Structure 1
Amino acid sequence: MLLKAPQVAKAWKKFVYHGKLDKTLPTVVARSWERCLTKLDPFTANHLDKLEEHRFKELLERYSMLIEVAKPIMEEIYLSMKGSGFCVILTDPQGYILKVLGDTSFMEKARRVNLSQGVNWHEHRKGTNAIGTALVEEKPVTIFAQEHLLKENHFLTCSAAPIFNSKGEVAGVLDISGNYYRAHPHNLALVVAGAKAIQNRLIMLESQKHKNMTPVYQHKAVYTFDSIIAESEKMQTVIKLARRAAQTESTVLLQGESGTGKELLAHAIHNKSSRCHGPFVAINCGGVPQNLVESELFGYEEGAFTGARARGAKGKFELANGGTLFLDEIAELPLDCQAALLRVLQEKCYHRIGGVQLIPADVRIIAATNKNLYEQVQQGKFRLDLYYRLNVITIEIPPLRERREDIGILTDHILADLSSRYHHAGLEVSPQVDQLFYTYSWPGNVRELVNVLERAIHLADNKIILPEHLPTTLQTLYNVSPQDGGGTVMDNLEVQTIRLALKRYGNNITQTSRYLGISRNTLYRKIEKYRIKI
């Protein structure tokens, strides 16, 4: 990221002196600069919004639950980066800093710009910064060096992620800040994982607190578009289409291999839709015995069949009323049930098994399959008319092997999440594992990557995950003998490792060679040997 600093500095000067936005500027930064420049002077210290002692105490009391939940997670994050010149910060929904944990070496510099407890770091007070911009954008952001609008903050690099409550409202922000020359690409993944852990715990406590006071849906979508970790062009296209689909009431069909994240995307679509406050109900059509699928979908009345409950039972359509029904593995639905489902989609009403009363079907359908549904139609396994009913907005989710540029950021994010969950602070993968991950075909996709990393963190003796900590399938790939001909398997792996490391450290030769454990001269020779462009 250090190589990025001169480019960012040039873009900052171009904007503050000439009012022009550089095309290389991240969109989120450009939007923030335009919001802030009309209200703030980039060159002078702006009005400090710091709470008086008694008001700060009141604030701490008001957000005591948030602080209590966040404290152990903040301590775990700080422990993993202690001594690296960073601090971990928690704010309230207005941007007031509630708690700071950090290295003394950095905290003195932080206090000079009032990055301290009781101070408001919202955009309208401190200009473009990770805390304030994350609050406005309601998504994770990193603000690096001169991406901060105010000149006094140019020494900072900050990564922040919003924390949401059970109503989908911002409850606070978790942030990691430090000197920009110590910027690390893992920080954003670490803070996103920490914010998600705080959020999940907070929602659980809120549900327990209010379960006798307000209705809480048992069926709730927990993921949002911010939960989708991806930088590849293919996944950005998927996310863009899914966001548009969320704004409609149309049926959505998600197609992709097992483990690609179809249910996660379904959650995100629901939470971005007008039905976000309603229930999100999921059913695995392939996991229900064929003779029970209709009763699971539509419910049944008392005495409808042998073994039925005395007072009958609601089906998934009834439970999802006012919300979203997610039909996973839709291709496994028996043909007779397909006919019943088609009828409900056409008529917008149904009746329970054994019942006569028509029940309105106020649900939005999201279906998913790991099969080509049109091929299933041609083979006589799926109804053509139902296919057309479902195939309104179809989203194809690419397998992990077709978006290899996401493997690195996914690895960082998953590792940070698992490290926090299992209290294995500071874990990272070795260069050899990095290259194996990039080369491997990942037939199980993201789900397999999660499982591989979860296994590895329990086997790693130190804080580095090595090839011997991986399953046999990946170890075999690493230990494969070189092949004759235009480049060995290991040569190809080495090329991918060097490319990944260069990308991770922004083409910084010193940092890349240190990470790879080789000298700068050796790295230069290998770059020349493999004709790697930097």
Structure 2
Amino acid sequence: MLHFKDIITPVDFKVTEETTLKEAITLMHQKKWSLLPVTDASGQPVGVFTRSSLQQMVLEETPLPTSIKNYIKRQVEKISVNTPYEKIEELVKESKVGTGVVVDQQNRVVGILTKTDMVMSLLHTSQELQLIKKLKRTLETAIDHAFDGIVMTDEKKVITMVSPPLLELYNLSEDAVLNKQATSVLPQLELEKVYESETAEVSGFLEINGIKYIVHRIPILEDGKVIGALGKVVFRQLNEVSELFNKLQKAENKANFYHQQYQKSETARYTWEHIFSTDPFMEKLKKSGAKAAKGRSTVLIRGESGTGKELFAHAIHHSSARSSGKFVVVNCAAIPEDLLESEFFGYEEGAFTGAKQKGKLGKFDLANGGTLFLDEIGDMSLTLQAKLLRVLQEREFYRVGGNAKIKVDVRIIAATNRNLEEMVKESLFREDLYYRLNVISLHIPPLRDRPCDIDHLISRFMIEFNQILGTSITGIEDQAKEVMFNYEWPGNVRELRNVMERAMTFSEDGKIKYEDLPDYLIKLIPVKESALHVSMVENAELEAIKKALVQVHGNKVQAARLLGISRSGLYEKIKKYKLPT
């Protein structure tokens, strides 16, 4: 809204009765004014010195040092700076004087108002009315189509409004988006299409951070011309596009089926890119593993349960010269001891009661030319350890119940979470096998020793489970994050992954909260009571501000009065809670 004080020309000098003709000429020339307000010592008006007064003094050949006192016009048309804009408009229309003197509440001169000032202000007002008209139509369109994320652009494709859910989805700040070209900051929305087509349209399914969404592109029209566009990003509920969703679901089901069939085949499924970490030691470890993959030496991977030993084994095979061969996994702790030998080496026909008529190939046969991954090798019996040692040394073995030597070319990658050195001392693990396996050793540190990875893994799992669970989780509240950062994670990455899956399943409003975490985690690492209290107070305060603003239809002055706080205090809280202004 334009105010009177915004259109006046301020007076930044003082002209008195003692001002000389020379000084008056200089001022009128510099300012290009046809009138100079004359004041007394306190700044109150006593008259005006006009261009006609100046001409009279010149015609009379008045010397330049002469004061203007006798040529001042004592009748002054004064206008208060607090005069309503509408009255000023009427005054200018009716006044025969081209310039008026503007005074403040103490009757001191603060400026002048010319008809030129008024004409320019009327032009500005007209432009404002046009802008308001466009904005009104834009907002009406937004209300009619409001849903999840909203972004609006003007006729130049510049973003004029964006809603918090949309910023949250794309992890952008308001400053990074407002008054920027939509094609540069949100190119994926492709809002420019409707400027050409002048027709609303719906995109196919898009995806960001594992969250599927669609975009409604709606042109804003005025007199048959596109004056802007509205982008409606739907990502929390997709009822309006259930048909598209069903088609996608069928396609995903088919893809999952083929993916499961692929997983059943004996091949490495993970690469170094699947091992998520920002920890410098982990990055160094991955580089060491990649170097080890180039050779054929046995690799022993050590670390606590859940640290990702199997992922390292997959990645080593995948980046080795044997990547085209089989990657066969044997969990030494999961197979009964009496069956472990036949699983390793296979058996001949009729080798024992219940044996298949044609016999069976063992894991070494299947892994020939590829890699055999022996997980939990510390749980292998001493008898089988001896036979494994022979295979590693001689590269040959006998099937159970057979007499023929079977030549084999297999690379061994072993993994354990047990202390093999202690087991060797206690005669629970063969020393010669230990040295045969421990050619290249990689020790994966537990998650508690690389806390910087917790935040990184949370973000990665959030993307993964948004895809798997069909959720739209965009972040974690501070209380929940505090618990997760202070927990020791005895189950390491595997446990963190399980906790994230559980929390994202239970979350209801787009962010993981303290209460979405498992009970055992909350009991072990309770958030400080004061922190919870602060959160409750802030939530209550935020809701009160929202209700007050709704009640007074967005009027900040009335809302502040209703809440019992100052207007500046209300603006600070609006900024704190990032509410729309």
The interval holding the TM-score normalised by the smaller chain is 0.5 to 0.7
Please name the residue that 1:102 is paired with: 188
In the other structure, the counterpart of 2:397 is 350
Give the one of 439, 450, 469 matched to 2:516.
Answer: 469
* Structure-1 separation of matches of 2:475 and 2:323: 36
- TM-score scaled by length of structure 2: 0.49
Percent same amino acid at aligned positions? Answer: 44
| Match of residue 330 from structure 1 | 377
Structure with the bigger RCO (C-alpha within 8 Å, sep 6+) is 1
Task: After TM superposition, give the deviation of residue 300 of structure 1 in Å.
Answer: 0.5
1:452 is matched with 499
Q: Is the 8 A contact 1:467 1:474 kept in 2?
A: no
Alignment counterpart, residue 241 of structure 1, candidates 288, 298, 303: 288
| CA deviation after TM superposition for structure 1 residue 259, in Å | 0.3
Instruction: Give the deviation of 1:104 after TM superposition.
Output: 3.3
Secondary structure of the residue aligned to 1:266 is: helix
SS of the equivalent of 1:479 reads coil
In 2, the alpha carbon distance for the partners of 1:435 and 1:379 equals 42
Paired with 1:264 and 1:199, the residues of 2 have a C-alpha distance of 25
Richer in strand (by share)? 2
CA deviation string 1:383-430 (max 9, x = no partner): 000000000000000000000100111001011101111100234211
Residue 282 (structure 1) aligned to one of 297, 315, 329: 329
Select 1:386's aligned residue among 420, 427, 433: 433
1:201 to 1:437, Cα distance in 2 relative to 1, 3 A: farther
Q: Distance in 1 between matches of 2:170 and 2:520?
A: 38
2:355 matched residue in structure 1 = 308
Indicate if the aligned counterparts of 1:82 and 1:103 stay in contact, CA closer than 8 A.
no
Which of 412, 418, 429 aligns to 2:465? It is: 418
Match of 1:30 in 2: none
CA distance, structure 2, for counterparts of residue 471 and residue 204 of structure 1: 31
Of the structure 1 ranges 216-225 and 374-383, higher mean CA displacement relative to structure 2 is found in 216-225
Name structure 1 gaps, 5 residues minimum.
1-79, 88-99, 110-158, 162-197, 483-487, 495-516, 523-534
Query: 1:101 offset after TM fit, Å?
Result: 8.9
RMSD: 3.8
Write out aligned runs for 1:24-43 (5 A): none
Aligned length: 312
Hey, what's the Cα distance between the residues in 1 that align with 2:573 and 2:437? Answer: 55
What secondary structure, in the 3-state scheme, does the structure 2 residue paired with 1:249 have? coil
The structural deviation recorded for 1:479 is 2.8
Matched-pair contact (CA < 8 Å) for 2:487–2:525: no
Give the 3 Å change call, closer, same or farther, for CA 160–335 of structure 1 in structure 2: same
TM-score by length of 1: 0.53
Superposed displacement of residue 444, structure 1? 0.3
SS in 1 for 2:413: strand
Partner secondary structure for residue 301 of structure 2:
strand
Deviation at 1:284, TM superposition (A): 0.4
2:522 alignment partner, SS class = helix
Q: Could you tell me whether the CA contact under 8 Å between 1:81 and 1:426 is conserved in 2?
A: no
Whether the 8 Å CA contact 2:473–2:512 is kept in 1: the answer is: no
Render the CA deviation track for 1:355-392: whole Å, top value 9, x for unaligned: 11211121110000001111111111100000000000
Larger radius of gyration between Structure 1 and Structure 2: 2
Unaligned runs of 5+ in 2: 1-163, 172-185, 196-207, 211-250, 536-571
Matches within 5 A, 1:213-232: 218-232=265-279
- The CA distance in 1 between the partners of 2:419 and 2:354, in whole Å, is 36
Which amino acid in 2 is paired with 1:261? G
Write the deviation string for residues 319-374 of structure 1: whole angstroms up to 9, x where unpaired. 11111100000000000000000000000011210011211121110000001111
Cα distance change, pair 438–217 in 1 and its aligned pair in 2 (3 A)? closer
> What pairs up with 1:68-147 in 2 under 5 angstroms?
102-105=188-191
Per the alignment, residue 527 of structure 1 pairs with none
The answer to whether the aligner puts 1:265 opposite 2:351 as a matched pair is: no
- Which of 380, 383, 388 is the equivalent residue of 1:341? 388
Report if the CA contact (8 A) 2:209-2:466 is conserved.
no
- Which letter maps to 1:271? H
Post-superposition shift, 1:201? 7.9
Change (3 A) 1:239 1:199: farther
Deviation at 1:261, TM superposition (A): 0.4
Matched, 1:404 2:490: no
Look up the match of 2:526.
Answer: 479
The Cα offsets for residues 259-304 of structure 1, whole Å up to 9 and x where unpaired, read as 0000011000000000101111001001111111111100011111
